[in-house]
Amino acid sequence: LFFILFIVVVSARTYADFTPQASFDIKKCDVHKLEEGPPLQAVLTREEGLQYYRTMQTIRRMELKADQLYKQKIIRGFCHLYDGQEACAVGIEAGINLSDHLITAYRAHGYTLTRGGTVREIMAELTGRRGGIAKGKGGSMHMYTKHFYGGNGIVGAQVPLGAGVALACKYLGKNELCVCLYGDGAANQGQIFETYNMASLWKLPCIFICENNKYGMGTSVERAAASTDYYKRGDFIPGLRVDGMDVLCVREATKLAAEHCRSGKGPILMELQTYRYHGHSMSDPGISYRTRDEIQEVRSKSDPISMLKDRMLSNNMASVEELKEIDVEVRKEIEDAAQFATTDPEPPLDDLCNHIFYNDPPMEVRGTNPWTKLKSIS
């Protein structure tokens, strides 16, 4: 009886201690052809805070583990890491529903997670194993889940695709929208302007989001764009410029954008000002075109996870121990996933020619020589 009483008393004490929700000031967004930006305050509940913290930390740790595995040559090819930009993926998802749609470019591991992928299947895809989210056939840049269309390797090509998804949303009348992401480097692509035009003409429910991390590979925005006001580049499309390091700012802006789309007003454009700690990819040390000081300054002053942590702690929304425990759990999840990703077998050679066509009878595929006839199943 005493034991039961003890548990009840301890639990009651834990929950009574914390603030269930608090209101935070968020940076004002610059607006373009919009009457009003998002509110200047955002309400965060304890549950939301813990969830955003956990997800951002998971992305952070997953990306750092990928860095490690790449240096050990267990991951090969291209690997574009997202650490530093976590508030974007998490904030966007917080402003939409899983029934909405999302497409991005190749810096996609974070989105694969927020859109429903597991760390295990993401890591196993990076290591090219059969347990990978694309059975090892896609790799870093080609991961897919429900209502998440990758992972796209050709810079800018994903933008018309995203508008096409939005067209399907409108056509099918399900009140869904498509979030369509691209970087500051891609923002100068012609096909993006073609897409702005058609999305506007046809009032497609599309949120265009430019993740401006200040560098397109090794080229700073000033050297690539005649106008670096990416949120204005949609011209006739209303736009907002958002602090992409603040998960709450991203969330509130996304909510506003989603409301705009769902009310039938057509597309809207968001520029998220963010930063990547890693270079463009694992083959880029990332310090030839920017200083270590710059990277360090962002880390110490604007890190998205630290910002959320400080907010929650200083408002008594969580305890240091609690957050540490989440860190431990996340670390374990990543370790387990890495273990799986390094021990799961590679795809069977039988799978080589599969998945050429969908819903087709089995067919023959020519091997490397005329005598080798391989089998392909849908």
Partner 1 sequence: MTAPVPCDICIINSILLLQVTVRDALNQAMDEELERDERVFLLGEEVAQYDGAYKVSRGLWKKYGDKRIIDTPITEMGFAGIAVGAAMAGLRPICEFMTFNFSMQAIDQVINSAAKTYYMSAGLQSVPIVFRGPNGASAGVAAQHSQCFAAWYGHCPGLKVVSPWSAEDARGLLKSAIRDDNPVVFLENELMYGVPFEMSEEVQSKDFLIPIGKAKIERQGTHITLVSHSRMVSLCLDAAAVLAKEGIECEVINMRTIRPLDAEAIETSIMKTNHLVTVEGGWPQFGIGAEILARIMEGPAFNYLDSPAVRVTGVDIPMPYAKILEDNSVPQIKDIIFSIKKTLNV
Q: Which positions touch partner 1 (CB under 8 A)?
A: 101, 103, 134-138, 142, 144-145, 149-150, 152-154, 157, 159-169, 171-172, 178, 190-191, 194-195, 197-198, 201-202, 351, 354-360, 363, 365, 370, 378
Q: How far is the CB of 303 from partner 1 (least distance, A)?
A: 33
CA distance 192 to 316: 44
C-beta of 205: minimal distance to partner 1 in Å? 12
Which positions ≥6 away from 377 have C-beta within 8 Å?
A: 354, 362
Cβ nearer to partner 1, comparing 138 with 218: 138
Supply the minimum distance, in Å, between the C-beta of residue 199 and partner 1: 8
Assess contact for 242 and 273: CB atoms under 8 A. yes
The smaller minimum CB distance to partner 1, of residues 20 and 361, is found at 361
Of 91 and 139, nearer to partner 1 (C-beta) is 139
Q: What 3-state class would DSSP assign to 61?
A: helix
HSE-up (13 A, CA, CB side) for residue 356: 14
Q: Which residues does residue 365 pair with via DSSP β-bridges, in sequence order? A: 374
- Whose Cβ is closer to partner 1: residue 92's or residue 134's? 134
End-to-end CA distance of the chain: 61
State in angstroms the smallest separation of the CB of 210 from partner 1. 17
Residue closer to partner 1 by CB (options 166, 240) is: 166
The per-residue DSSP string of 162-223 comes to: HHHHHHHHHHHTS---EEEEEETTGGG-HHHHHHHHHHHHTT--EEEEEEE-SEETTEEHHH
- State the minimum distance, in angstroms, from the CB of residue 67 to partner 1: 24
